[in-house]
Amino acid sequence: MRNDLELDAIIEDYLLGKLNTQEIEAFEKLRLNDATVDHKVVSHKFFLQSMETFATQLNLKEQLNHIHAEIDVESLTANLRPHPSRIIKMWRKNKSLIAVAASFIILSLISIYSIQHNSKQKEQLVLLSNQVNKAIKTQNSLIRKLNNTTASAGKPAVQNSFGGTGFAISTNGYILTNLHVINGADSLYVQNSKGESFKVISAYTDPQNDIAILKISDKSFINLSSIPYTIKKNTSSIGEIVYTLGYPKDDAVLGEGYVSSKNGFIGDTTQYQVSIPVNPGNSGGPLLDNNGNLVGIISGKPDQTEGAAFAIKSKYILEAMRAIPQDSLGVKRLSNNKKSLLAGLKRTKQIEKLEDYVFMIKVYN
């Protein structure tokens, strides 16, 4: 909770012009290089504007109540046809305020009509919700990066305290993970279950869905055999049993649970909520069902909810893979799989086959 308050304070000071020149330059550089940070700033600016609008409306209501109190109700009821001069006098005295009130009413009606009848407006609202969700998931990373930016120069490169997990989407070294896992990295490596490390480069990023695709560029890497899992095409149901394999520590950790909601944070339709205990290093790990179908990718957890996590749906994994030239992905790629090789196996046997395709992501600054 303390980090949340620190993050809000940094962004609010930035928007209100309270940062010094050096702090502004450091923050704007980070915002320019990280789309998710920019989304967080935009959403916070929207929040401040909403609060300002609310305050204006509250002040208007108080002024209207004051006008209402000044009206002589008894004399009006006694004479149902008040003298025109009285009406004119009241209009001249309060015409600007009445005009503002009328404007608020008209704008409110237009907004309600637009939201109900304009699909583009609906899409924008959903998009804003998704952006806020993704910004919240990267807030701890933002704090770390701000600290690194303001640190003294000349220090040797050190491993970031926040790593993650990734999994193979082709046999020739393409690995999928979360974008927030690799953001700000000077160099990237992956480590397999045997402890072997390989240099990787970023091949594709999708800031909107917090997805990144890496490519092993190390000549010592030997192509994998056929990928044992496949991508699930349809939506998973609430209560469906799922599991994940990730690297919250130096060796792989299994997490099991079930789909608890078809939507993620504040109704984000790009994600599931799953009842699985996860740690930061689990981000980017595969989420599979009992038959070894890839349901999604672990992307984060609610700050105040234990034993719950969010997972990006498999649909968006497919969309990210389509952005990579199919020839580059090689013949034996994940989207070619028609049936999972994990189907029908006990969990222990599934994990044995899965381990070679799940990697620890090492981030260096």
Residue in this structure with the two tokens 């193979």, named with its chain if needed: 168
CATH topology of domain 159-365: Thrombin, subunit H (2.40.10)
Reported confidence tier of residue 282, pLDDT bands at 50, 70, 90: very high
Strand partners, 165: 360
pLDDT of amino acid 355: 95
- Residue 87: the pLDDT is 52
Q: Enter the tokens of residue 72.
A: 């002589």
- In single-letter form, the type of residue at position 76 comes to L
Angstrom distance (rounded) from CA 321 to CA 174: 10
Residue 166 confidence (pLDDT)? 96
Task: Specify the pLDDT at position 157.
Answer: 45
For the ranges 96-105, 187-196, 353-362, the lowest mean pLDDT is seen at: 96-105
Q: Give span(s): CATH 2.40.10.120, the chain.
A: 159-365
| Distance of alpha carbon 12 from alpha carbon 133, whole angstroms | 18
Q: Tell me the pLDDT band of 74, cut-offs 50, 70 and 90.
A: low
Dist CA 72 CA 68 (whole Å): 9
Length in residues, the chain: 365
Report pLDDT for 223. Answer: 93
Beta strands at 253-261 and 241-246: parallel, antiparallel or unpaired = antiparallel
Name the DSSP letter for residue 152: P
- Assigned token pair, 213: 């695709």
Residue with more model confidence, 181 or 146 = 181
Q: How far is CA 189 from CA 165, 172, 210, 278, 280, in A?
A: 11, 16, 19, 22, 18
Averaged pLDDT for residues 4-30: 78
Report the helix count and the strand count for the chain, using DSSP H and E.
11, 13
Instruction: State how far the Cα of 78 lies from the Cα of 73, in Å rounded to an integer.
Output: 9
Q: What is the pLDDT of residues 312-352, one digit of tens each?
A: 999 999 999 988 887 777 656 676 667 899 999 999 999 99
pTM passes above 0.75: no
The yes-or-no verdict on residue 119 having pLDDT over 60 is no
- CA distance readout (Å), 25 to 22, 31, 290, 315: 5, 10, 49, 38
Count of Cβ atoms closer than 10 Å to residue 40 Cβ: 24
pLDDT of residue 70 exceeding 80, the answer is: no
CA-based R_g, the chain, Å: 27
pLDDT at 69 over 80: no
pLDDT tens-place string over residues 144-178: 444 444 433 443 344 444 589 999 999 999 999 99
Q: What is the C-alpha to C-alpha distance for residues 170 and 38, in angstroms, rounded to an integer?
A: 32
Give the mean pLDDT of 222-228: 92
